[in-house]
Amino acid sequence: MWWIKKAFTLIEIMIGITIVASVVISWFYALTSINVGKIKLIEETTIEKEAFYFSEKLFEFIKRGGLIDYEEYFNRSNVNATSFINGHYSTLSWFWNKSNQFYYCISGNGTSMGIWGCMVNSYNNLWVILTTRPLLFWEYAYQFIDYNSNADEDWGDEDWNLSPLEDDDDEYLWLWPDAFSSTNSVQELYLINSDKTKRTFLRWNVSVDPKKPIAETCTGLAGDPKSIAWEGCLGKIEFLKLEWVDWWNDHNENTWDNTEYDGIIDTWLFDRDVYGLTKKIVADENPLADWENHNSENYWVSLFPNTINVKKINLFLYPSKDISFAWKDVNSSVNIAPYLRINLSLSPSWERRVAIKWQPVEFNFSTTLSLSDVFIK
């Protein structure tokens, strides 16, 4: 019965080979899983490091930007703070370069002016409705002064020198108004340095990701930023840099005016050092002969590379009034040192996700930044 023994021997050998093969295959799969897991861990760690680096870059950029630009927030709230496109405001504020005339609060009774009293025709020296109009720098500061406190018919021009400024009937109220919503939520960040010669703006700009798969969509760009649908979108944080020149309210260097080069802020250029400009370009002056150079859309620069997708950014500024003007307001929400609360959500863009075979991690960062002028130059 030798052949039976031989058959059993062959069977034992085959079983042994099968066991060895199973062990080898299991070991191979285990090794593969370990390698895949290792690659995934390394990739996620790299992405996390990048997200942390760029969030810190943003926070440091904001700190260097300066103080809350209350004048621009007041300008924005007067122009249009309810219309959006691509996650940011759709209406230009003109950066104080559109208007060429101030108006003054002449209520005759400070307590009746209210938050928007000087915007209506009854309480300003122009006797017109001023809501929706771009404003000049210092217009917000003028809201805290009643230029006709004795309630006579001189429209605030007590000495009849064609200016309500510095007359005997001026009354500094040290109240009103909020420069932005009292909820303290803002859509864009406006900063100005302590000597008021440089300005930094930050905005969220969302568009269709050019690297997205065909099946992914990006919708809701023309409207409320909260309605944007995300998988096919690319969100960026962009900045704009401006510098000050003293060309009076006509914003024209070539026409001489009595208050040109008087030291009072009035005109803003695109920052020549930042953009490498050799000529002086007024921000959004918009002359038809040179529209391409003056259009501010050409000067917004992304702070992050295209591999980073900013899926969310929430900004909360405090206080909503400039405490140097509103010091008489006893509300505890106003009498505080200025600061910013920021919440940020970052993830890889589709340019980066092409090499990732799994759903990427989304990283959320929150912090509070002091915007005091103690350490800002």
Answer yes or no: is pLDDT of 38 > 60.
Answer: no
Q: What is the pLDDT of residues 1-11, one digit of tens each?
A: 545 555 445 55
Answer yes or no: is pLDDT of 209 > 50.
Answer: yes
Determine contact, residues 309/348, Cβ cutoff 8 Å: yes
Mean pLDDT value of segment 369-374:
79
Give this prediction's pTM: 0.84
- Average model confidence (pLDDT) across the chain: 80
CA separation, residue 134 to residues 84, 95, 277 (Å)? 17, 8, 26
Separation between Cα atoms, residue 301 and residue 329, nearest integer Å:
38
Separation between Cα atoms, residue 24 and residue 279, nearest integer Å:
72
Domain range summary for the chain, segments of one domain joined by +? 49-370
Determine contact, residues 134/96, Cβ cutoff 8 Å: yes
Dihedral, CA atoms, 258, 262, 264, 268, nearest 10 degrees? 80
Question: Which SS3 state, helix, strand or coil, does residue 357 take?
Answer: coil
Residues facing 205 on adjacent strands? 236
Q: What is the pLDDT of residue 21?
A: 47
Residue with tokens 């992914």: 216
CA angle 82–84–90, rounded 5-degree value: 100
Listed range (25-29, 333-337, 344-348) with the worst mean pLDDT: 25-29
Answer yes or no: is pLDDT of 274 > 90.
Answer: yes
Greater pLDDT, 265 or 287: 265
Separation between Cα atoms, residue 21 and residue 24, nearest integer Å:
5
Q: What is the pLDDT of residue 43?
A: 53
Q: What is the pLDDT of residue 24?
A: 45
Determine contact, residues 345/334, Cβ cutoff 8 Å: no
Percent share of the chain, pLDDT over 70: 80
Both tokens assigned to 235: 């969100």
Answer yes or no: is pLDDT of 366 > 80.
Answer: yes
- CA quadruple 149, 152, 155, 159: dihedral sign: negative
Q: What is the pLDDT of residues 101-154, one digit of tens each?
A: 888 888 776 566 666 678 887 788 888 888 888 888 888 998 888 888 887 777
Greater pLDDT, 350 or 188: 188
Q: What's the distance, CA 121 to chain centroid?
A: 32
DSSP strand pairing (339-348 vs 301-302): unpaired
Answer yes or no: is pLDDT of 233 > 90.
Answer: yes
Judge residue 322's burial from the number of C-beta atoms within 10 Å of its C-beta, 0-12 exposed, 13-18 middle, 19 or more buried.
buried
Q: What is the pLDDT of residue 56?
A: 85
Q: What is the pLDDT of residue 71?
A: 93
